[in-house]
Amino acid sequence: MEYVTFDDVCKYYTMGDSRIAALDGMSFQIRKGEFCVIVGPSGAGKTTLLNILGGMDVCDEGVVSLDGERIDRYDEKQLTAYRRYDVGFVFQFYNLVQNLTAIENVELATEICRDPLDPAETLKRVGLEHRMDNFPAQLSGGEQQRVSIARALAKDPKILLCDEPTGALDYNTGKQILKLLRDTCKNTGKNIIVITHNQAIKPMADRVIFVKNGKAVSTEINPCPTPIEDIEW
Amino acid sequence: MKGSLSRFIAITCIVALGTGFLSGLLSATEDMKNSANDYYIKHNTFDASVQGSLGITGGDIRALEDMDCVRDVLGVYTVDLLMDIDGLEATETRIIARDLDEAVRNGAVNRLELVDGRMPERADECLIEVPNMYGIKHEVGETLAVSKNNDDYDELKKDFRHKTLTVVGIVKSPLYVSINGDVTTIGSGTINLAVYVDPETYSTDVYGQAYITFKGTEKLHYSKEPYSARIDECRKELKALGKERSAVREDRVLGKAKRQLKDAERELASGEKELKQELAAARKELRDSEKPVRAGERKLEAAEKKLERSRSQLDASEKELDELEPVISQLEALVAAGGTLTEEQQAAIDRYYEGRRQIEAGRKEIRAGAKEIRENRRELEAADKSIAEGWRQYEKGKAEGEAELSEGRKDIKEARKEIKKIDEARWYITDRSDNLGISGYENDSEIINAVAKVFPAFFFVVAVLVALTTLTRMIEEERNRIGTLKSLGYTKRETRSYYMFYAFVTSVIGCVVGMAAGFKILPMVISNAYSMMYNFPPIKAPVIWLTAIIIGLVTIVLVMATAYISARDEVNEKPAMLLVPKAPKPGQRILLERIPALWNMASFSYKVTLRNLFRYKKHFLMTIIGVSGCAALLMTAFGLRHSIADIVDKQYDEINRYNIYFEVADEDVVTKGEVHDVLESEKAVEGWGIFSEESATVSANDVKQTSNIMIPKEGKELKQFITLRERTTGEDVAFEEGSVVITEKMAENLELEVGDRIYIRPPGNSREGFIVAGITENYLSPYVYMNSDTYEEAFDERCEFNKVLVKTSDSDDTTQNNVIEKLLKCDEVDYAITLNTARDSFADSIGSIDFIVLVITLCAVGLAVIVLFNMANVIICERKKELATLKVLGFFNKETRAYIFREVNILAVIGILVGIPIGIWLHRFVVHTAEVEDIMFNRELTWLSYPFAAVVTFVTVFIINRLMKREIDRINMVESMKAND
């Protein structure tokens, strides 16, 4: 069953006189519960894809749907509600509110949700039960990213979007974060979409989508993904 | 570059506002004084003035002219009198006679400047001075006539060569710059019109006053030290000359008076002697003429006695004969019967008849004697009468003579008294600072200076804080640029110079814009407000370069120093570090979290807000100071307006309980006759009381001022017309026998408290001390209230009850005018005034305060706008990423905005709360400083200023929030993807 669908999606940006297509008829599908990695070089349209799927931007042409809902037809307000209730977002630079402790950062998201998970419980799940009352500045990068993931998870969203979640982390920490995401996917059955330029992590995904010049050039499906511990890069 | 535009505007505006306000307030006083000084110099204003208790003679003038320090002398004839001016009877007028052709010439002392009409050409024409009494405007073409209400009407009539004077021109002079008239001893005690005539029109034996200019004061500024030093120096010399000339004058006047007295005494003595002699002669003559009469009387009495005696002898003889009669009858019968008689018998009969004959003769003789005596007596009685008449004449003459003599004696006594009175010839030397208008203007312009000392402090502190936060933010944003520059090999100084230059440019532009407006607009507005009370030419508002340069330098240096400090960290850091994004400012627990009871009560969003508030201390401080300053200024401005406007209601509704007053020649006019009937019959009149009012000099603790003395005819009646109460407690102030109650502002000026001694000196009387029994609330004019007994006992002079206060049932104009019309129909009432007039004109004149209030309000709002705008702008820039993240997390626009606005609003609330005590203090300070000598403002801060300050501040906050809304909504969520900036 197709959970996420991109059908001939186009997005144009005007730069001076010329019109550049960031997404140029992108089409792909993701099934429910899959751990999906979207890879491609810089400027391939990964971020635009993420923005549109994350409800932060709208496409100019084509169909985008999630769980049967036509996101491309949403207005501003519906998009906000969509981000609020359906999407969990993990940023490359964590984007924690510096003035809030770990648990408060999670609470920041759960405050506005309908049926959030327990923030403390969620933090425990990402392995931060001892760091809950620390401010972001007191946490390591990996720990901060865990908070970020906990914040996204606590909302109990339909999908989890991760934008280069390991981009600002060292190798080992990055691995741990990826493991956490992978485990989360397995344990909760949530769709997780990781956007990265790191081709090496392809084997750990259920589905890998290759993006280039605003198009999804190919899709790979791993029937049995490799555990992250076994992947080296 | 968009962000940098609002930065640029923020710094420029706050600098402009600060420097503008400061330069305006600082230069207002200077400008006012300078334009006054220009005016004084242009009109060659007197440096000192001399009045003599016995006048100033031509010799005095010459002696003054001969002094080394004197530049010019002007002697004027002057008199204060009541004048009837076109239906306006008995206006207190001061006539000043001087050579008018000379008076308008350049360089003339107290030069007159013709502003309307023409110069007099005939002796029955005159000029009037511009400043007029409240409400009554005099114009060219009016005629003035010496009023019959003057006590010395006949004498004045002689001094004036013409019955009426026609106003042909209006002039300005430095003598009367205030619309408040000088003090005088006539009428209501205040001069309402100054009139200039030629000596041809009015002159007396001696000059009334001499105006003097000193050498070396031509170029000196009247309010500066060298001028007052020079004046002190010259006054000393003047004083010495005064002693000398006074002695001469005294000798002459006193010598003459004494000679006259001696002559009178001699005359009296000789008169006495003459009378005595005359009386003695008259007495002698009368006595002489009495003597023969008395002798005649005595003779007459002797003759009467003799006559009586002979009558009784005769009676005795007749009796004898009667006894003999029967014997004789028998004998005769015997003879008839023929008997004969013996010889003896015959002889007896013969004797008998002989006896009868003799008696008959005797009786005849007595009758003649009696007749003679009667005639003599009549003669004597006539003589007696004429002598008595003589005596009467004598007594009458004597009484007349005595009366004449005692009259002479009385005259001599009077003359002696007069001499005693004039025994001291003195010069009264005054200078410009004693001139009511000149010193009033000086004081009022100082008020602005006092205000100028406090207000700009806010603006400076805020300007620095705004510059600090803005520049810090700017430098943080441009961290990367600094890093690049440094890695390219730019030195610290070169790197820094960019920011220093930025600070320099913004502050210079701010200074130029601010001061260009400040030096021009604020002094104009302020002097415009004062022009309602003072008659000066429009103020010149030049840029005062020294002030401008100092303000400019201080401001520029402060802003640049701020830039230096802001850039210090970044500039000193290693380029490599600079190229890496700066770690965000770490979060912190705040103090409030230590109190879990309170902290746990706050909702999640408020916890975030509270943390943020205390995270950025600079913003916090800047906003609190800015907003509290705004709130305090608003409270002060609104409170000041109320404090001043409110005294009209307090004075005219609560303190003065009468509605109409009028003056009369004496109390009899009111106790019976026409006026009495009007007051008694008019329904609208609820009550009326007779009072005595005069101005006097009061003093205590080395402070002296003028005050009115108010004396009720019936002591009990005072409180019916004037409320006596303690201001703060509202308690009644007792007014009993012997009580002396004074008004509050005067008590303050003279540093008096209940139980202290106040000295009062009515014009032409001695100075006496009284114990202050009470201090009463009062706002407008100073008063001393006492009983007539107290006054008469102390000053040995009868009170003149000359004023009538009338209370009407209704205070509207119709009722008042109706009563006034009826009163004015009476011959004895020249004018009757409703307090509504005074009330309205005072209300008008304080309308000028609205200008100042408006200026302060606008500045306050401007301050709040800049600070809040800047602060909102800075926090939005700083938290762009945070806000974008919130949006990605699915915060609705409203929630995202609330995240910022909550912070702004809480800061505004804290700012207002902090502003309230500052406002209370500032209001008190400004009200106190703004009070001029006699007027007391309402020191209470109206409760309305709290909501006013709060509402205006919140509206400002609301508007800023509206403006910021778009900024927040426009933040792109893509920002959240970026690395830390």
3-state secondary structure chain A: CEEEEEEEEEEEEEECCEEEEEEEEEEEEEECCCEEEEECCCCCCHHHHHHHHCCCCCCCEEEEEECCEEHHHCCHHHHHHHHHHCEEEECCCCCCCCCCCHHHHHHHHHCCCCCCCCHHHHHHHCCCCCCCCCCHHHCCHHHHHHHHHHHHHHCCCCEEEEECCCCCCCHHHHHHHHHHHHHHHHHHCCEEEEEECCHHHHHHCCEEEEEECCEEEEEEECCCCCCHHHCCC
Decide if B889 and A91 are in contact by the 8 Å CB cutoff.
Answer: no
Nearest Cα neighbor of B194 from B208, B180, B207, B204 is: B180
So what's the pLDDT on residue B926?
A: 81
Q: Identify whether the C-beta of residue A49 lies closer than 8 Å to the C-beta of residue A26.
A: yes
Domain tally, chain B: 5
Cα distance from A224 to chain B (closest Cα, Å)?
Answer: 32
Residues of A in contact with B599 (CB under 8 A): none
B402 and B335 within one domain: yes
B693 DSSP 8-state letter: E
Inspect the interface and report whether the beta carbons of A135 and B885 lie closer than 8 Å.
no
Tell which residue, A75, A153, A132, A151, has the closest CA to residue B885: A151
Could you report the per-residue pLDDT of B562-612, keeping only the tens digit for each? 888 888 877 787 777 777 666 666 777 777 777 777 777 777 778 888 888
- The C-alpha of A158 sits at a distance from chain B's nearest C-alpha, in angstroms, of 14
| Residues B813 and B690 reside in one and the same domain | yes
**Residues A138-166: pLDDT tens digits?**
888 889 988 999 999 898 898 999 988 88
- Which of A86, A99, A112, A156 best tests the B interface by mutation, with the highest count of B CBs <10 A? A99
Between A138-142, A187-191, B382-386, B661-665, the lowest mean confidence (pLDDT) is in B661-665
Percent of the residues in chain B that have a pLDDT greater than 90, as a whole number: 7
Q: Which chain A residue has the Cα nearest residue B588?
A: A99
- Domain assignment present for B691: yes
CA quadruple B4, B10, B13, B16: dihedral, nearest 10: -90
Q: Are B890 and A163 in contact (CB < 8 Å)?
A: no
Q: Does pLDDT of B687 surpass 90?
A: no
How far apart are the C-alpha atoms of B674 and B667, rounded to whole Å?
13
Q: Answer yes or no: is pLDDT of B508 > 90.
A: yes
Looking up tokens 């000028």, which residue turns up? B848
pLDDT digits (tens, 9 = 90+) for A100-110: 889 989 988 88
pLDDT in tens, A86-101: 999 998 888 888 888 8
pLDDT at B842: 66
User: Residue B471 pLDDT > 50, yes or no?
Assistant: yes
- The topology under which CATH files domain A2-230 is Rossmann fold (3.40.50)
Residue type, B952: V
Residue A56 to residue B973, Cβ atoms within 8 A: yes
Whether B129 and B194 map to the same domain: the answer is yes
* CB-CB neighbors (< 8 A) of A77 in chain B: 892
Strand order in the sheet with A35-39: A87-90, A159-163, A191-196, A35-39, A207-212, A215-221
Contacts of B583 in chain A (CB under 8 A): 137
Provide the domain limits for residue B484: 1-41+434-582
Over the stretch B896-940, which tens digit does the pLDDT of each residue have?
898 888 888 888 999 999 999 999 998 888 888 777 667 788 888
- The rounded distance, in Å, linking the Cα atoms of B935 and B745 is 7
Are the beta carbons of A47 and B888 separated by less than 8 Å? no
Q: Lowest mean pLDDT: which of A216-220, B107-111, B412-416? A: B412-416
- Alpha-carbon distance of B77 to B95, in angstroms, equals 8
- The answer to whether the beta carbons of residues B208 and B78 sit under 8 Å apart is yes
Contacts of B888 in chain A (CB under 8 A): 54, 56, 83, 89, 91, 95
Please determine, for residue B133, whether its predicted confidence score (pLDDT) is greater than 70. Answer: no
A80 vs B605, B612, B892: nearest CB = B892
* Tokens found for residue B77: 């004839």
On whether both B686 and B824 belong to a single domain, the answer is yes
Who among A81, A83, A163 is closest to B889 (CB)? Answer: A83
Q: B335-349, B843-857, B954-968: which has the minimum mean pLDDT? A: B843-857
Instruction: Tell whether B417 and B442 lie within a shared domain.
Output: no
**Cβ contacts (< 8 Å) between B592 and chain A: which residues?**
none
- Residue at a domain's end among B197, B215, B233: B215
Q: Over 60: is that where the pLDDT of B3 sits?
A: no
Mean pLDDT across chain A: 88
Q: Which stretches of B757-812 are DSSP H helices?
A: 788-795
* Nearest-CA distance A45 → chain B (Å): 14
Q: Where residue B517 falls among pLDDT bands split at 50, 70, 90?
A: confident
Compute the average pLDDT of residues B399-414: 85
pLDDT, residue B454, reads: 66
Residues of A in contact with B980 (CB under 8 A): 93
Tell me what the mean pLDDT of segment B190-201 comes to. Answer: 85
- The conformational region for residue B110 under phi > 0 = left, psi -120 to 50 = alpha, else beta, is left
B802, B189 Cβ separation under 8 angstroms? no
Residue B2 has pLDDT above 70, yes or no: no
**Same-domain status, B315 and B372:** yes
Query: B239 lies in a domain?
Result: no
pLDDT interval class at A28 (50, 70, 90): very high
| CA–CA separation, B78 and B55 (whole Å) | 10
Is residue B465 located within the same domain as residue B500?
yes
Q: Whole-angstrom Cα distance, residue B782 to residue B205? A: 37
Give the pLDDT mean for B9-26.
Answer: 85
Which two tokens mark B703? 């402070």
Same domain? For B479 and B501 the reply is yes
Please indicate whether, in this complex, the C-beta atoms of B586 and A108 are within 8 angstroms of each other: no
In a domain, B834, yes or no: no
CA distance B714 to A104: 82
Q: Is B802 helix (H, G, I), strand (E, B) or coil?
A: coil
What is the model's pLDDT at position B756? Answer: 87
Give the DSSP letter of residue B591: G
pLDDT number for residue B1: 40
B265: confidence class by pLDDT, cuts 50, 70, 90: confident
pLDDT band at A44 (very low <50, low <70, confident <90, very high): confident
Residue A101 and residue A133 in contact, taking contact as beta carbons nearer than 8 Å: yes
pLDDT at position B794, please?
83
Closest chain A C-alpha to B852 CA, distance in angstroms: 45
Per-residue confidence (pLDDT) for residue B75, from 0 to 100: 92
- CB atoms A95 and B980 under 8 Å: no
Residues B951, B862, single domain; the answer is yes
Cα separation of B69 and B213, whole Å?
A: 9
- Residue B553 inside a domain? The answer is yes
Calculate Rg over the CA atoms of chain A. 17
B620-654 pLDDT per residue, tens: 888 888 899 889 989 988 888 888 778 888 888 88
Distances (CA, A) of A73 to A12, A57, A76: 17, 12, 10
Query: Which region among B67-71, B336-340, B544-548 has the lowest average model confidence (pLDDT)?
Result: B336-340
Amino acid at B261: L
* Domain spans in chain A, listed from the N-terminal domain onward: 2-230
Please report whether residue B15 resides in a domain.
yes
The answer to whether residues B294 and B395 belong to one domain is yes
Contact B887 A80 (CB under 8 A): yes
Partner residue facing B608 (CB), from A51, A85, A100:
A100
What pLDDT score was predicted for residue B134?
Answer: 44
Record: contact A135-B588, CB cut-off 8 A = yes
pLDDT at B722 over 70: yes
Band (pLDDT 50/70/90 cuts) for residue B981 is: very low
Q: Which residue of A has its CA nearest to B887?
A: A80
**Mean pLDDT within B2-31:** 81
Residue A3 has pLDDT above 60, yes or no: yes
With a pLDDT cut of 70, the percent of chain B lying above it is 93
Interface confidence, given as ipTM, is: 0.91
If one counts every other C-beta atom within 10 angstroms of the C-beta of residue B727, the result is: 18
The reported pLDDT for the residue numbered A9 is 92
| Same domain (yes/no): B275, B395 | yes
Predicted local distance difference test score (pLDDT) of residue A62: 92
Dist. CA B551–CA B548, nearest whole Å: 5
Among chain A residues, CA nearest to B585:
A98
B589 occurs within a structural domain: no
CB B921 within 8 Å of CB B941: no
Between B449 and B748, the more confident residue is B748
Chain A residues in contact with chain B using a Cβ-Cβ cutoff of 8 Å: 47, 51, 54, 56-57, 77, 80-85, 87, 89, 91-93, 95, 97-101, 104, 107-109, 111-112, 135-138, 151, 155, 163
Q: What is the largest CA-CA distance in chain A?
A: 55
What CATH number corresponds to the domain at position B393? 1.10.287.1700
Kindly list the distances between the CA atom of residue B622 and the CA atoms of B290, B473, B563, in Å, as whole numbers in the listed order.
122, 14, 16
A52 CB neighbour count, 10 Å cutoff: 24
Tokens matching residue B583: 């770690």
Helix (H, G, I), strand (E, B) or coil at B712: strand
Residue from the list A82, A91, A101 with its beta carbon closest to the beta carbon of B977: A91
Residue B23 lies in a domain: yes
- Chain B residues with CB under 8 Å of A97 CB are 587, 608, 882, 885
Of all residues in chain A, what percent carry a pLDDT higher than 70? 100
Q: Which residues are paired to B759 by β-bridges?
A: B699, B769
Binary contact (A99, B976; C-beta < 8 A): no
Whether residue B949 is predicted with pLDDT greater than 80 in this model: the reply is yes
The shortest C-alpha distance from B504 to chain A (Å) reads 34
Whether residue B102 has pLDDT greater than 80: yes
Q: Reduced to 3 states, what is the DSSP secondary structure of residue B284?
A: helix
Hey, how many other C-beta atoms are within 10 angstroms of the C-beta on B533?
Answer: 18
C-alpha B959/C-alpha B87 separation (Å) is 59
Question: Which has the closest alpha carbon to B69: B288, B230, B242, B267?
Answer: B230
Structure-token pair, residue B868: 């809040």
Q: Which two tokens stand for residue B126?
A: 């005159």
B190 within a domain of the structure (yes/no): yes
Would you state the pLDDT for residue B168? 92
More confident residue, B668 or B164: B164
Q: Which of B599, B606, B888, B974 to mutate to test the interface with A (most CBs of A within 10 A)?
A: B888
Residue of B90, B51, B66 lying closest to B187 (CA atoms): B90
The C-alpha of B469 sits at a distance from chain A's nearest C-alpha, in angstroms, of 19
Cα–Cα distance, B536 to B438 (Å, whole number): 11
The reply to whether B266 and B400 lie within a common domain is yes
* Residue B529 backbone dihedrals phi, psi, to 5 degrees: -65, -40
pLDDT score of B4 more than 60: yes
Please provide the average confidence, as pLDDT, over all residues in chain B: 83
Closest Cβ opposite residue A137 in set B586, B886, B973: B586
How confident is residue B135, by pLDDT bands cut at 50, 70 and 90?
very low
Q: Region B243-264: what's the mean pLDDT?
A: 82
Q: Are strands B209-214 and A215-221 parallel, antiparallel or unpaired?
A: unpaired
